[in-house]
Amino acid sequence: MKDLKDIRPVIRQWMEAFTMRSMHDMGRYVKTTGLSMPQFSLLMRLYYHGGCEVHDIGRHFDVSSAAASQLVDRLVHAGLVARTENPDDRRARQIELSQKGRALIDTGVEKRYRWLDDMVAALSVKERTALLASLPHLIEAEKTFPGREDPHGARHAIRTPRERP
């Protein structure tokens, strides 16, 4: 069995490579959309966590409700999000990702991970089998660690890209 000091540098090297590649590819895609990073981040938040109210957006991004409302307004005008009535409180407006917004994020996620699909395809069957056997253990181990909450106490699960055909 390998010692922690042997495993740690390999996992860190993988994390650094994955993070840099993923961020680079997503950043390049965001530039093609004409959106700012805060706008795109809001779309990603709605994509992975569902609808919310403007004040939730303000808390999530640590900005005032007025700033969050301006951010939402731009995305509403672009047709990427919609304001709907909150079923629990008719006075409050729910912010939801529109079909156009969901399609934009779906494309971004696809572009972000395309290199990973190509890399895995280049691995041997034996290498893929070994990854498939060990990675679920890392995913489950991560779920047991503290720090999965944002500063406002909301618990967030790490989300993986949706299955593709």
- Region 44-52: mean pLDDT is 91
CATH number of residue 83's parent domain: 1.10.10.10
Q: Is the pLDDT at 163 greater than 80, yes or no?
A: no
Residue given tokens 């540098």 in the structure block: 9
Task: Give a yes or no: residue 128 inside a domain.
Answer: yes
Q: Is the pLDDT at 155 greater than 50, yes or no?
A: no
Task: Give a yes or no: residue 29 inside a domain.
Answer: yes
Give the percent of the chain with pLDDT over 90. Answer: 41
Instruction: Check if the beta carbon of residue 84 is closer than 8 Å to that of residue 94.
Output: yes
Specify the pairing of strand 81-86 against strand 89-97.
Answer: antiparallel
Task: Give a yes or no: residue 8 inside a domain.
Answer: no
C-alpha separations of 69 from 13, 123, 133, 161 in Å: 40, 47, 45, 28
Task: Give a yes or no: residue 157 inside a domain.
Answer: no
More confident residue, 46 or 161: 46
More confident residue, 131 or 87: 131
Q: Is the pLDDT at 135 greater than 50, yes or no?
A: yes
Task: Give a yes or no: residue 156 inside a domain.
Answer: no
Task: Give a yes or no: residue 14 inside a domain.
Answer: no
pLDDT confidence bin for 115, thresholds 50/70/90: confident
Q: Is the pLDDT at 7 greater than 90, yes or no?
A: no
pLDDT of residue 133: 92
Task: Give a yes or no: residue 161 inside a domain.
Answer: no
Rounded CA-CA distance 105/97 in Å is 10
Q: Is the pLDDT at 40 greater than 60, yes or no?
A: yes
* Structural domain boundaries, residue 51: 21-143
Task: Give a yes or no: residue 6 inside a domain.
Answer: no
Q: What's the structural domain count of the chain?
A: 1
